[in-house]
Structure 1
Amino acid sequence: MELRGAATLFLAACISCLIFLWKRKQKQQTSKLPPGPTPLPLLGNVLQLSRTHLFKSLVTLGEKYGPVFTVYLGSRRVVVLCGHEAVKQALVDHGEVFGGRGRMPTLDRIFHGYGVIFANGERWKQLRQFSIMTLRNFGMGKRSLEERITEEAQCLVEEIRKTKGSPFDPSHPIGHAIASVLSAITFGQRFDYQDEKFAHIIDAIQDLFLELSTPWTQVGDMFPGIMQFLPGPHNRILKDVKVLHDFVTERVQMNQETLDPSCPRDYIDSFLIKMEEEKQNPQSEFHTKNLVLSAVHLFFGGTEMVSSTLRYGFLLLMKYTEIQGKVQEEIDHVIGKNRSPATEDRSQMPYTHAVIHEIQRFSNIIPLGIPHAVIQDTQFRGYTLPKGTDVFCLLGSALQDPQHFINPEDFDPRNFLDENGSFKKNNAFVAFSSGKRMCLGEGLARMELFLVFTSVLQHFTLKSPINPQEIDLTPKASGFWHVSPRYKLCAHPR
């Protein structure tokens, strides 16, 4: 018994010693880091963070520790920036050093740093420069692309008309319309609404967006070393990404068989031509793996960000019917009922323009932003951020900054209108992020939002099957992304 007691005492002493040494090491490592809650060994700050409302948890910690603070997601150290000023200072004023892509363990084990969104260093520079140039060549911001979007918007109108005012879930038709625009740019082809294969792709995109926002995925990101070997819902992401990967790989093979280097048809053709041009360059990042994953990133990101915003927007207009009425009055006055909307109409439609911005602000689709990382030891607001430190620039905290928006938790288009009713820019509007990692499809997304939004409201009045006051705007999931709630609407012809 005495021997057992001595052994227990010795073991307790060893554990106490280890905890003491771990805390001492932590204190030394974090002495120059921003303040934050004390982490537990291995668990980090998991007890201070909500698995269902991660963004709100981080904002609450920001109120306690200030606009720059440190948290531990498991053993992963993250510096968090809250509010417009801190986010701007990092992404714009110090954009070069904050320009690294931070870790997202769940996706990193799929993409391994390849593709335009998750790349770093020279790989990212080459892929981003090429992607921006190629999107411009295929019409981003030009009349040719506007015509494509307008045609797709009219196809959506006709698809909605088939519902004859009956309740329907708008997720698939909206997703199809936006995916078709991205498909035309990326793959050189649009798909019919009855195409079952393309419908399966849209389902995979929407499922992936949802799974990335679930508590299971957050746990997977906190404890990747363990979770990647365990069964569970977090592994559904692998299945969804495989669907997109196989689809893009098939399109690449089809393009290779019919490629005409003198006449590129789409993003894939342009990448294949670039691969051939640089095949003798050992430093080139233009190879099949980067091609497939960059196309996946553009197609997935471009489709779901815009379609999610539109889904949220139509839900908001069913709840706030007076705002919908004002938008339709402006559409009738500027556009009328006999021609399709055009981007040049936007300058004459300040209220509609303000409503679209407010939808983006309120829906707050990417509240945490995609993680950044500092590429060198960095002095920031009196703190030292070691090279490679992951940084969460809370875009949602800028979009809800009370110093820049009136009643930031309410839906109010006045946030983007001056006293004369003219459209007013707001520097804290960072729905597309800011700085060097800003969304490379911003121009395309703005054009899609305006043309699709106005086309639908030109032809239909959107009504809810339930009392507008009972409409719940709470996201279906709230993790790294906000997923709009599922609902049904009735589109009554005007």
Structure 2
Amino acid sequence: MLALLGLAVFLLVWGLLRFRRAISKLPPGPVPLPLLGNLWMLGFKMDYEKLIQLSTTYGHVYTLWLGHTPMMVVNGFHAVKEALVHHAEEFSDRPNVPFFEDLWHSKGIILANGHSWRQQRRFALMTLRNLGLGKKGFEWRVQKEARTLVEIFSATKECPMDPKSAMYTCVSNVISAVVFGHCFPVDDVRFHQLLEGSETIAYFQGTVLGRLYDSAPWLMRRIPGPHQNVFEQYRNISNFIKEEIATHRKNWSLDEPRDVIDYYLSKMLKVTDDHNTTFNEENMIQVVFDFFMAGSETTTSTLAWALLYMLENPDVQDRVQEELDSVLGCDQPAHYEDRKRLHYTNAVVHEIQRYANLVPGSVLHACSRDTTFLGLPVPKGTVIYPNLGSVLYDPEHWETPQKFNPGHFLDKDGHFVSKEMFVAFGTGPRVCLGERLARVELFVFFTCLLQNFTFRLPEGVTHINMDSILGSMRQPYPFKLCAIARER
């Protein structure tokens, strides 16, 4: 017993000494606890506001420990730009996050690294261009789904409704046309199961259970719980995508690819003799899922915040409608090109994204080699958390960062001005792949809704819950509104 006790004490002291040596090689930060690290300080969630508060004590760059894993937090516009742009070569990797590694095995685009990431991302960018992303012909797809959304809202007859489900369906059908080559009926049961599974996965990783999974994967893999449902949901989604791929193989034409799956099948055929290729069916499934989840979740959540902000700021809603009526008239739908004439509306759309701060920390980065950053040591493998929320709320660059203020994007003459510190889509080599599509969707859906409806709280409701559900992104709590048809 004495020998075992002595061994335990020795191992504990040895572990603490190793821990202290590791801490000394990293940027300073709050003292971590054994096993838990600094997770307890964050409530086991990546709370960007708490991370900003810690920067007042430890500076723009500091280290937090996620259990036994060090994470360098980067705050403020200049530090984030320095990390993601000027140190892009060292900080463009993705870390080995146990939950995502067990779920996706580093496949696809979003969480891949090295040769595989470069090949898959290059393919994705080229395919989006070939499919006409950014051209007027493609915008027709967005306009069509926006009109469908108007019809769904109109059918409520101005009664209280939760708008998210309808928006989720219509937004997801845009990206469905891109990856699958077709849309789904709004009442399609399998499609809604796909949406539910995608939403579950997007939400889980940012929760307390997600943090616990990453801290103790060896334990979480072996016990039941909601995390096991996430894996089941992903298996269902993978089977859905496999069925779509099988259908494409039956009807596929090499000379006339119609969507992402067709282009991927064509690419696989062309590289069959390339031993270094990463184009295979496993990567294809994950690329399709990456497209679908990224193209559905973020835009839908941003539109939900947009309607909440209109409920909270009816004067802004009125002014947007006045501009739409005076510039476009009553019946002409807004096109993305119209943003150049709709200065105030364009400013409102940008302010919605800034204030919503949908993905406060981007997706985690990792350091690919030992380096120094702003004079501080950063060992290879260190997780990098670029706190985009600290940029979008940076008081040095925004007049009223904690308030919804479209004036942030207007000059003294009321003309729209772009801002370098508008990093809602990230920055650097890992900038959001679907940024162009998201910009078109947000502008077209938002203007179409405000041309057709005025949004009000249900009768008797006086309080708007502006708190957020913090998962992998900031989502609003469920809410109801009334879509009041405008007289045309």
TM band (smaller chain): over 0.9
Equivalent position amino acid for 2:349 in 1: I
Number of the residue aligned with 2:21: 28
Number of the residue aligned with 1:206: 199
Structure 1: any 5+ residue segments left out of the alignment?
none
CA distance in 2, matches of 1:262, 1:90: 43
Shift of 1:62: 2.0
**CA gap 1:382/1:140 in 2 versus in 1, 3 angstroms:** same
Shift of 1:59: 2.2
Number of the residue aligned with 2:263: 270
Number of the residue aligned with 2:233: 240
CA distance in 1, matches of 2:45, 2:21: 32
Q: Which of 431, 442, 450 in structure 1 is aligned with 2:435?
A: 442
Number of the residue aligned with 1:493: 485
Shift of 1:221: 2.0
Question: Do the aligned partners of 1:461 and 1:492 also contact (CA within 8 Å) in 2?
Answer: yes
Question: Do the aligned partners of 2:108 and 2:286 also contact (CA within 8 Å) in 1?
Answer: yes
Q: Which of 330, 350, 353 in structure 1 is aligned with 2:346?
A: 353
Equivalent position amino acid for 2:476 in 1: S
CA distance in 2, matches of 1:21, 1:297: 43
Question: Do the aligned partners of 1:213 and 1:482 also contact (CA within 8 Å) in 2?
Answer: no
Question: Do the aligned partners of 1:308 and 1:483 also contact (CA within 8 Å) in 2?
Answer: yes
Q: Which of 182, 185, 190 in structure 2 is aligned with 1:192?
A: 185
> Counterpart of 1:69 in 2: which secondary structure?
strand
Question: Do the aligned partners of 1:209 and 1:483 also contact (CA within 8 Å) in 2?
Answer: no
**CA gap 1:478/1:236 in 2 versus in 1, 3 angstroms:** same
Number of the residue aligned with 1:297: 290
Task: State how 1:86-485 maps to structure 2 within 5 Å.
Answer: 86-465=79-458, 470-475=463-468, 477-485=469-477
- After TM superposition, where is structure 1 displaced by more than 4 Å over at least 4 residues in a row? 10-16, 466-469
CA distance in 2, matches of 1:183, 1:491: 26
Equivalent position amino acid for 2:418 in 1: K
CA distance in 2, matches of 1:467, 1:265: 50
CA distance in 2, matches of 1:472, 1:408: 19
CA distance in 2, matches of 1:47, 1:484: 24
CA distance in 2, matches of 1:467, 1:327: 26
CA distance in 2, matches of 1:212, 1:23: 29
**CA gap 1:209/1:80 in 2 versus in 1, 3 angstroms:** same
CA distance in 2, matches of 1:241, 1:309: 24
CA distance in 2, matches of 1:277, 1:27: 52
Q: What TM-score results when the alignment is normalised by the length of structure 1? A: 0.95
Structure 2: any 5+ residue segments left out of the alignment?
none
**CA gap 1:324/1:468 in 2 versus in 1, 3 angstroms:** farther
CA distance in 2, matches of 1:52, 1:30: 22
Number of residue pairs matched?
A: 486
Task: State how 1:72-91 maps to structure 2 within 5 Å.
Answer: 72-91=65-84
**CA gap 1:90/1:24 in 2 versus in 1, 3 angstroms:** same
Question: Do the aligned partners of 1:213 and 1:483 also contact (CA within 8 Å) in 2?
Answer: no
Shift of 1:467: 6.3
CA distance in 2, matches of 1:52, 1:40: 16
CA distance in 1, matches of 2:367, 2:159: 52
Q: What TM-score results when the alignment is normalised by the length of structure 2? A: 0.96
CA distance in 1, matches of 2:21, 2:8: 20
Shift of 1:55: 2.4
Question: Do the aligned partners of 1:351 and 1:423 also contact (CA within 8 Å) in 2?
Answer: yes
**CA gap 1:58/1:236 in 2 versus in 1, 3 angstroms:** farther
**CA gap 1:67/1:480 in 2 versus in 1, 3 angstroms:** farther
Shift of 1:441: 0.6
Equivalent position amino acid for 1:46 in 2: L
Question: Do the aligned partners of 1:170 and 1:489 also contact (CA within 8 Å) in 2?
Answer: yes
